[in-house]
Amino acid sequence: MQKDCNQVWQNCLDFIKDILPDKHIFETWFVPLKPLALQDDTLTLKVPSMFFCEWLEANYINELRAAIKKELGEGGKLIYSTVIDSSAVGADVKLPSNDRKATQNKSTTIPMNMDTDVKGFPNPFVIPGLKKIKVNSQLDENYSFDNFVEGACNRLARSAGYAVAQNPGKTAFNPLFIYGNVGLGKTHLVHAIGLETKQRYPDKTVLYISAEQFFQQYVDSVKNKTTNDFLQFYQMMIDVLIIDDIQFFANKQGTQDVFFQIFNGLHSAGKQLIITSDKSPAELSGLEQRVISRLKWGLSADLQVPDAPTRIEIIRRKLLKDGIDNVPEDVIEYLAYNVSTSVRELEGVLISLLFQSSINKSGITIELAKELIDKFVKSSSREMSIEYIQKVVCDYFSIPISLMLSKTRKGNVVAARHISMYLSRKHTQSSLATIGSKCGNKDHATVLHACKSVQNSYDTDKRFRADLDEIEKLINE
């Protein structure tokens, strides 16, 4: 008997949902897939875009294969059908380039009351009748995808953002809601999405606006009795609307009302909304429930603090961009390991380091870096990181960190691993489970055992004690 494609796919989904580590991934990459047909042992799935398809193949092929095998047996096959929207002719993925013109919106003729102020930013008031206006996108070319370093901390948000730029308004990510603490790259990422959209669709009108600026425009429109123009402007002119730091709307009733209307208008017209906030929709306070529910319609993706290798890469990329090549490697690493709160803080220390060394006419050294970190970085963020401890320990034993994180049971590698765990326990607030997961995927019992064994050797073995004292001194330097 021929099986039903919906049922087969539903079973696959249940299976995949179970084996994926994260509900977000499931919702982002699997829920949007729709079964189209099942013929013999071949299941055809409708995929929203080429990009989507490539991403699935690159990242989740094993999960898909396992599910298909389970449902359809060894001979089971999968075919993707990409229904590409006619406006997205040619679904090739373009690389970002530095075409300055690309960020400018073309002028549009609109039958409403509009004018532009001196800076070219839309001032949706005055002059009745038909008027050509050009919306200043307010996009910053420095905040491109090229300059945005990818890491585990931002992978979902970045890839969803890239997908949105390839197909604005046409993906399941509408609105795309990006949240995270201050200085982790929200503003940068949404500019990158806007720039990439302009690159790919020069005719689309993109607008980046901070929530505060939006609020101000609305307040002015109330004062000038031009709120209708304000609403029309947003609903008729904009193809991709980016609103940054929406938490600013908290307890601002009127602004939330107009935002709600604009959101509905744009969304139902298939226009793209991209929103950022310092909190997830569920944690946003001071916002009306109906607004929050809209924010949850698409995809919410968060930005985390980047790990040490990503921080190193961010510093390198920044230096390269600015043409600076005299920062020693050990200073770059020192900064990356010791400034772990936000990218903004990391950049701040880097800039003051370059500045100080140029006015002192001194070299760029670890000592200077240390001094500046003590001066500028909030004390809370000076808490030692597990990664830093691992680095010091591995340097001490002259072994690569990757070896320590591997499963090797060689004597000095095991010692380094155990000492890292012990010192992480002693000098950080991290739980045993966290320490274990960062030290080669060990469980909490293993960490506890390591701590005991280190303490034991310390109490009984003189040479071991000397080593450990020396390492602790290096860590605390």
Contact set with Mg ion (CB under 5 A): 186-187
Residue closer to ligand ADP by CB (options 161, 169) is 161
Cα angle 106, 111, 112 (rounded to 5 degrees) comes to: 100
Residue 33, interface with ligand ADP (CB under 6 A)? no
Number of residues in contact with ligand ADP under rule CB under 6 A: 16
Residue closer to ligand ADP by CB (options 170, 188) is 188
In the list ligand ADP, Mg ion, none, the entry touching 309 (Cβ below 5 to 8 angstroms by class) is none
* DSSP for 246-277, written as a single string: GGGGTT-HHHHHHHHHHHHHHHHTT-EEEEEE
Residue closer to ligand ADP by CB (options 148, 233) is 148
Whether the CB-CB separation of 178 and 276 falls below 8 Å is answered with yes
Residue nearest ligand ADP (C-beta atom) = 185
Q: Is 132 helix (H, G, I), strand (E, B) or coil?
A: strand
Q: Provide the minimum distance between the beta carbon of 327 and ligand ADP in the complex, in angstroms, as a whole number.
A: 16
In the list Mg ion, ligand ADP, none, the entry touching 149 (Cβ below 5 to 8 angstroms by class) is ligand ADP
* Span of 24-32, 110-118, 342-350, 420-428 interacting with ligand ADP by CB under 6 A: 342-350
In the list ligand ADP, Mg ion, none, the entry touching 164 (Cβ below 5 to 8 angstroms by class) is none
Instruction: Give backbone dihedrals phi and psi of 14, rounded to 5 degrees, phi first.
Output: -60, -45
Q: Provide the minimum distance between the beta carbon of 186 and Mg ion in the complex, in angstroms, as a whole number.
A: 5
Residue 200, interface with ligand ADP (CB under 6 A)? no
Residue closer to Mg ion by CB (options 188, 271) is 188
Q: Is 290 helix (H, G, I), strand (E, B) or coil?
A: helix
Q: Provide the minimum distance between the beta carbon of 276 and ligand ADP in the complex, in angstroms, as a whole number.
A: 7
Q: Provide the minimum distance between the beta carbon of 228 and ligand ADP in the complex, in angstroms, as a whole number.
A: 32
Residue 311, interface with ligand ADP (CB under 6 A)? no
Residue 154, interface with ligand ADP (CB under 6 A)? yes
Q: Which residue has the tokens 């921080």?
A: 311
Residue closer to ligand ADP by CB (options 17, 344) is 344
> Residues 304-317, buried b or exposed e (16+ Cβ, 10 A)?
bbbbbebbbbbbee
Those residues whose C-beta lies under 8 Å from the C-beta of residue 155, and which sit 6 or more positions away, are none
Residue 350, interface with ligand ADP (CB under 6 A)? no
Establish how many alpha carbons lie within 13 A of residue 161's alpha carbon, considering only the half-sphere containing its beta carbon.
Answer: 31
Cis peptide bond prior to 111, omega within 30° of 0: no
Relative to beta strand 272-277, strand 42-47 is unpaired
Within residues 167-186, the interface with ligand ADP by CB under 6 A covers 180, 182-186
Cα angle 217, 219, 224 (rounded to 5 degrees) comes to: 90
Whether the CB-CB separation of 78 and 193 falls below 8 Å is answered with no
By C-alpha distance, which of 473, 373, 474, 383 is closest to 427? 383
DSSP label at 91? -
* Span of 51-59, 265-273, 340-348, 421-429 interacting with ligand ADP by CB under 6 A: 340-348
Looking at 164, 241, 314, 336, which residue binds ligand ADP (CB under 6 A)? 314
DSSP label at 441? S
- Give the binding site for ligand ADP (CB under 6 A): 147-149, 154, 180, 182-188, 314, 343-344, 347
